[in-house]
Structure 1
């Protein structure tokens, strides 16, 4: 089948979820709440924990192996010419049952120099559900000297760190880009689709009260070096506004979700059939967020979809059409 519904892939994490992923997916929730993420079509492993994080197809074959065996079928010739058999993105569902710790991801330059990777971890969030008072902490509200940041981290003065950040209210339907280097923390009560560069590089600025301590929060680099990747500049309201902004598409039933600063890294679209949503040929992950309908490839039978489904779409499926009383988020490479 060209269109592949994927099973859940929920590696254990150090923070708690609230069961929203399992309810959304219609699967039984474990007694342990520390399964707050679903890594969708993942060819990326947990940092230092391979193969944890890798996704499998319904028959059990790793997605990475399937793509490596038929890269042009999955990714398309232009993508393979530029990136080989690397999809270049990672898509997740994330369920914040508690506020995540303040943390930061390195950019591509830092990752090349210190982590032997062509990718950093710029990411973006599409909010599916949010509590009425939900916020994300996003960037420092003022310039923070290097020594002040190092002191906060070493002494775990969390209140001072958080007080220096911007608290940005979020609600269902919002889409926000979080560039690499920007300190951030997703607040309790937020359920989102995340699209990001394909790494698991995270530097914890905060670990007190979480299971990961300082030995696990600096990527094996030591905090002095790791902290050099942090964007310590102040993010004004005007700069923050630049992290949002949807754009029109030339295809019916499709709205581009991020401003152009995301374009070098990934793309996402909101699909609301009017009366259809037209998808060009591209490797992509479709997360159905509401309703039900059909996703039909250019060749082959249509696939019935409903809220909670995640579908892996190969380039070889050609142009696809989404129909029905349905809404979805489509994530794809840059």
Structure 2
């Protein structure tokens, strides 16, 4: 019989990144000095930065790496059904990401591309939960407006024509409460002043179409060390417009029900997320989950894993074996979970 594991409040986990940001993360967490905070906080991470052995991994309060704890007891952490499908892989990475400058135009590989060229079962489909914005025109960019041929993309990359690349993308104005689903292959960028909770598959695979100012010239990590000719094959060069583009975006700011789904079914093979409004007690089913507290000061009570005080800015990981849970105290949480079980074969 699996021993019940408690929910755990996690410290910040901010590996070095190649762009500016972090003030919004510091503000959310109540940190006094934003200068020491980087633009990303990897929450409940068993994933490392590309090409690095340890950077990016989350540490539990007892000093163990979460990766090692899950490996020692996958059933306790992720549940028997998930462990049968994924072993000791949580199949999820959650980040807080604060864009202090516009991020480069980049793209992530699909599952099939990752299996063929990177030796990994996971590509990097991701999604953005917008939790804060600043500046006059907070914007993200996703998908080419029109079909683009292979030679044009290759020329943009070789000449580093940033202006052309950005102009070819669809700008999407965003505000808190919006979500954007970003399937693997879709070229994209996040604009300055956009603060997100990002859910993604648990890899750090990014092909930097725009690397000037973000990576050193010739840095092989920009093309995942597989060469530009191969790396650019993962780019979705189709045009995205109209209802196809609209289908990537949800606007949920005016929804205040206890549990607000944040993505459509297209995200289910990769991850799940809800916004929880605990104006009164909200009951939650057993699941491995990552919680990000956006507002409030309340309590997480678990069936088998004890009780934890939760306040704005806290991030927590909840093992499956903690059982059903309940949150209260006016908390507003983003609850992030791994792929839906019924979709595992498709993913």
For residues 218 and 265 of structure 2, the distance between their equivalents in structure 1, rounded to whole angstroms, comes to 35
3-state SS, counterpart of residue 39 of structure 1:
strand
2:89 alignment counterpart: 86
3-state SS, counterpart of residue 208 of structure 1:
coil
Flag structure 1 segments of 5+ consecutive residues without an equivalent.
Answer: none
1:234 alignment counterpart: 239
Number of residue equivalences = 329
Q: Does 1:159 align with 2:125?
A: no
2:273 alignment counterpart: 268
For residues 184-195 of structure 1, what are the structure 2 equivalents within 5 Å?
A: 184-195=188-199
TM-score normalized with structure 1 length: 0.95
1:210 alignment counterpart: 214
Structure 1 stretch displaced more, 161-170 or 202-211: 202-211
Q: Does 1:125 align with 2:128?
A: yes
2:112 alignment counterpart: 109
On the 8 A contact 1:218/1:226 being kept in 2, the answer is yes
2:315 alignment counterpart: 310
Q: Deviations over 1:128-175 (max 9, x none)?
A: 101241000101000001001100110011111111110000101111
1:12 alignment counterpart: 16
1:40 alignment counterpart: 43
Q: Deviations over 1:156-196 (max 9, x none)?
A: 11111111110000101111110000000000001110010
On the 8 A contact 2:131/2:196 being kept in 1, the answer is yes
**Which residue of 304, 325, 331 maps to 1:326?**
331
On the 8 A contact 1:246/1:258 being kept in 2, the answer is no
How much has 1:212 moved relative to structure 2? Answer: 4.0
Q: Deviations over 1:190-225 (max 9, x none)?
A: 111001000000000001122443423000011111
On the 8 A contact 2:141/2:188 being kept in 1, the answer is yes
TM-score normalized with structure 2 length: 0.91
How much has 1:29 moved relative to structure 2? Answer: 3.9
Task: Quote the RMSD (CA, aligned, Å).
Answer: 1.6
Flag structure 2 segments of 5+ consecutive residues without an equivalent.
Answer: 340-347
Structure 1 residues 29 and 113 mapped into 2: Cα distance closer, same or farther (>3 Å)?
farther
1:243 alignment counterpart: 248
